[in-house]
Structure 1
Amino acid sequence: MPDSTTPPYKWQAFQFICTIKPIKLIISNQPTFKTLVTSILANPKLAMASTQHFVILAIILAIFAPSILATDYIVGDGKGWTINFDYQAWAQGKMFYVGDILVFNYPQGVHNVYKVNGTGFQECAVPAGVMPLTSGNDVINLATPGRKWYICGVARHCSVGQKLFITVMPSMAPSPSPLSASSAVPSPSPTARCS
């Protein structure tokens, strides 16, 4: 329970309890930026704690931002992965980033998905020795930037348009940078109390 000296906005975004207990999300009484800065400047201990919490929050965001920002794309939207559909028109205007997910939905046993190179895409050629995805709900994590090509290897499905080409851009999330010794969060004092 906060006492009368505790600012009303004390860690409204995240409250860290004794640095080892679970993080609680608290949403209430959001201060204005001016109020927050004024309070921090008026209280050096609060300023030090704010910096520590900011560093912790920055680390958490750097770790989780790629998954938060990732987009799941259902290839072909409601049509799914099928013949007689223009997948290049479907992909046009979409921005694919590292961390995004492609989901190929189709009736199991009717289609499949092969990842191929540019030549295999142009020639609708299934790569030798490569096993296709066949679940009917195939999920592909776009883990690296660059050009990606996918085809259906069943009969002449690729020849009638069941193929997809996309370009994957580097992740939008900032890369985490190592902490310098001066910005590392100090260990709590053994005599510190949880509030």
Structure 2
Amino acid sequence: MATNLNKLVLATLVVAALLRGSWAQTTHVVGDSLGWTIPPGGAVAYSSWASQNNFTVDDILVFNFSNGSHDVAEVTKAAFEACNATSPISISNSGPTNITLSTAGEHHYICTFTGHCTAGQKLAINVTATTTAPSPPPPTATAPTPSSTATPPPPPSPTGTATPSSPPPSETTTSPPPPNSATSLAGAALPVALLSIAVALLH
């Protein structure tokens, strides 16, 4: 029984890790319904599309095009600006092509068919590193330490009425709000939930 439980726990953790990794990536269809083609109106179509998307390491670009009509080549920034396809970093002739963004920084893509890049079939994107939950900032102010000697209360008044005492001045400090940890909380909750379900099924 313990062996089966160990296997189930291990399988649950593996599935949770795989699911968490798949949530981190986004698939972007280049140009959306336009696809990868000579855009009407020129290169502004792809630059506008890129400005509406956020690209992160491990995201996937999908270039939809017909074989023999287009291709997609990753090129340097200089080659992108000059529409020079002589030394591409990589090239794919079969569509649709999926490209996984494996590094942060600028990435440039063109179609190498004659005249296509100069007619606007080119894409430049900026890829950011995988996001992680930021660590909380250090406290900006420290609370005063209590004194080692206590002040005795004032003696009662001789008339029998209590003397109103003013509350001691208090020093209040407010900390900044905690960083948004909803994403990391959701990612951490999945393995716990799956493990709880597995344990519940065994009992």
Superposition TM-score tier, normalisation by shorter sequence: 0.5 to 0.7
1:106 aligns with 2:52: no
1:150 aligns with 2:103: no
Give the percent of matched residue pairs that are identical in Structure 1 and Structure 2: 34
Equivalence for 2:128: 169
Q: Distance between the aligned counterparts of 1:129 and 1:137, measured in 2?
A: 19
The answer as to whether partners of 2:72 and 2:109 remain within 8 angstroms in 1 is yes
Matching residue within 2, 24, 29 for 1:69: 24
Show CA shifts across 1:115-162 (max 9, x none). Answer: 001000000001337662011100000011110000000011000100
The answer as to whether partners of 2:74 and 2:90 remain within 8 angstroms in 1 is no
The answer as to whether partners of 2:75 and 2:109 remain within 8 angstroms in 1 is yes
The answer as to whether partners of 1:96 and 1:169 remain within 8 angstroms in 2 is yes
Q: Distance between the aligned counterparts of 2:90 and 2:107, measured in 1?
A: 17
Equivalence for 2:150: none
Matching residue within 102, 108, 117 for 2:76: 117
The answer as to whether partners of 2:73 and 2:109 remain within 8 angstroms in 1 is yes
SS in 1 for 2:47: helix
SS in 1 for 2:94: coil
Letter matched to residue 122 of structure 1: E
State the aligned residue count: 129
Which TM-score applies when normalising by structure 1?
0.58
SS in 1 for 2:127: strand
RMSD across aligned positions (CA): 2.8
Q: Distance between the aligned counterparts of 1:84 and 1:171, measured in 2?
A: 31
The answer as to whether partners of 1:109 and 1:136 remain within 8 angstroms in 2 is no
Which TM-score applies when normalising by structure 2?
0.56
The answer as to whether partners of 1:115 and 1:148 remain within 8 angstroms in 2 is yes
Letter matched to residue 101 of structure 2: L
- CA shift in 2, pair 1:107/1:63, >3 Å: closer
Instruction: Give unmatched runs, 5+ long, in structure 2.
Output: 134-201
What is the Cα deviation at residue 21 of structure 1? 2.3
- Based on CA coordinates, which of the two structures has the bigger radius of gyration? 2
The answer as to whether partners of 1:149 and 1:164 remain within 8 angstroms in 2 is yes
Equivalence for 1:83: 38
Q: Distance between the aligned counterparts of 1:125 and 1:151, measured in 2?
A: 9
